[in-house]
Amino acid sequence: MPTCTKQILPGQIIGIVGGGQLGQMMTLVAKEMGFRVIILDPQADCPAGQVADDQIVAAYDDQSQIMALAKRVDVLTYEFENVDAQTIEAAQAYTWIPQGTKALRIAQDRLLEKQFLVDQQLPHAAFEIVTTQAELVTAVAKVGFPCLLKTTRGGYDGKGQVILRSATDIAAAEQLLTAGICVLEAMVHFDQEISVMISQNSSGQQAIFPVIENQHRDNISHISICPARIPAALAEQAQSVAAKIAAQIELVGTLGVEFFVGQDGQLYVNEIAPRPHNSGHLTIEACDFSQFATHIRGVCNWPLQQPRLWQSAIVVNVLGQHWQVALDASRQSAVWHYHDYGKDVQKTNRKMGHVTVLTNTVEETLVALKATKIWD
């Protein structure tokens, strides 16, 4: 990555496409650093809009309004990877977008993501490209059961994918093919899921966070633990892979790389997300610089250093069904760092906030969290 001397300075304006909790936490950091922030999101009074200087209420595919945002800001970033890459490219005529679209295009298309992993010789699950029912049958024969059929675009928290455990599941999976090209992946038999947050600025400086261990429920992130309870050599390997990915996609800002730790002891890259990541929320309290701080520093081309982990930390997501009882429990706890995203409606499985606990005794804290029965 060539050296870049341009910087965004306090008083200048950062535009963020997307107004959810990630945008909210980006905005809070940006405001601390003295920047002004304008959000674009279709929902009025969205989480990020509540803390920003201004909000444009418009759909993410409203090209005219994204251009209007670009004309008002000094740098533009995004909080999620499903923003239209072509629109972002067009907006470069009006403002600085140091992230470009290379990482965006790779992350929002599973086929491009898989090909990137192949080209870079990075560890990944075996896969086949599927477009028809006949190709699905052939691909299953190659990959074997169990396997996952995924749409190439869209999909999060388990959406846009079907698990095939036997031949009887093939018929149900065929409906997913109506969405277009799909990828059939071999299911990795894994012991753990981990992630690495890494940030990079336009000058190529990197900040790599300690490895985080993740647990999911119903394909939704449930709990994350830092540092991950894995051998040091494996943690170093995961960070090295993340650093290589960041360099090759010309990352600017924060990237989350998800891995499986296979039962064979090997790492497998599961997903690349060119934005702050749910599992990295604990860095707000646990590190000297959070993943959101390094994202803002990255897109503004401020210097980056290796983040320091002050203490082990656990973060638990608060979904709609947990919201009231978690809020009540947080009001009674002196050690819970409670974050509420300010969403107006509590829905089942909708992320409403999170709780972070710093601890010197991870196992005991996990037992104490379970004992609350909030997440049963």
Q: Concatenate the DSSP letters of all residues of 229-283 into one string.
A: SS-HHHHHHHHHHHHHHHHHTT--EEEEEEEEEETTS-EEEEEEESS--GGGGGH
* pLDDT tens-place string over residues 198-251: 999 999 999 999 999 999 998 899 999 999 999 999 999 999 999 999 999 999
**pLDDT higher than threshold 80 for residue 59:** yes
Lookup: tokens for 247: 């360099």
Q: What is the pLDDT of residue 208?
A: 98
Are 95 and 71 in contact by the 8 Å Cβ rule? The answer is: yes
Q: What is the pLDDT of residue 160?
A: 81
* pLDDT tens-place string over residues 68-79: 999 999 999 999
**pLDDT higher than threshold 60 for residue 337:** yes
Average pLDDT over residues 12-37: 98
**pLDDT higher than threshold 70 for residue 104:** yes
Matching residue, tokens 């950091």: 29
Q: Cis bond leading into 98, ω under 30°?
A: no
Q: What is the pLDDT of residue 54?
A: 98
Strand ranges in 18-59 using DSSP code E only, listed in sequence order: 36-41, 54-57
Q: What is the pLDDT of residue 157?
A: 56
Are 313 and 226 in contact by the 8 Å Cβ rule? The answer is: yes
Higher pLDDT, 280 or 60: 280
The domains of the chain, with CATH numbers, are 13-97 (3.40.50.20), 126-186 (3.30.1490.20), 190-371 (3.30.470.20)
d(CA 176, CA 100): 31
**pLDDT higher than threshold 60 for residue 90:** yes
Higher pLDDT, 4 or 33: 33
**pLDDT higher than threshold 90 for residue 180:** no
Return mean pLDDT, the chain.
95
Lookup: tokens for 184: 């059939």
Helices (H), 1-82: 21-32, 63-72
Average pLDDT over residues 178-192: 92
d(CA 103, CA 269): 15
Q: What is the pLDDT of residue 9?
A: 98
**pLDDT higher than threshold 90 for residue 83:** no
* pLDDT tens-place string over residues 121-176: 999 999 999 999 899 999 999 999 999 999 988 766 556 889 999 999 988 888 88
**pLDDT higher than threshold 60 for residue 355:** yes
pLDDT band at 1 (very low <50, low <70, confident <90, very high): low
Q: What percent of the chain has pLDDT over 70?
A: 98
* pLDDT tens-place string over residues 268-299: 999 999 999 999 999 999 999 999 999 999 99
Q: Say whether pTM exceeds 0.75.
A: yes
d(CA 26, CA 194): 23
Are 188 and 241 in contact by the 8 Å Cβ rule? The answer is: no
d(CA 195, CA 252): 18
Q: What is the pLDDT of residue 3?
A: 73
Looking at the DSSP assignment, which residues form a beta bridge with residue 273? 256
* pLDDT tens-place string over residues 240-271: 999 999 999 999 999 999 999 999 999 999 99
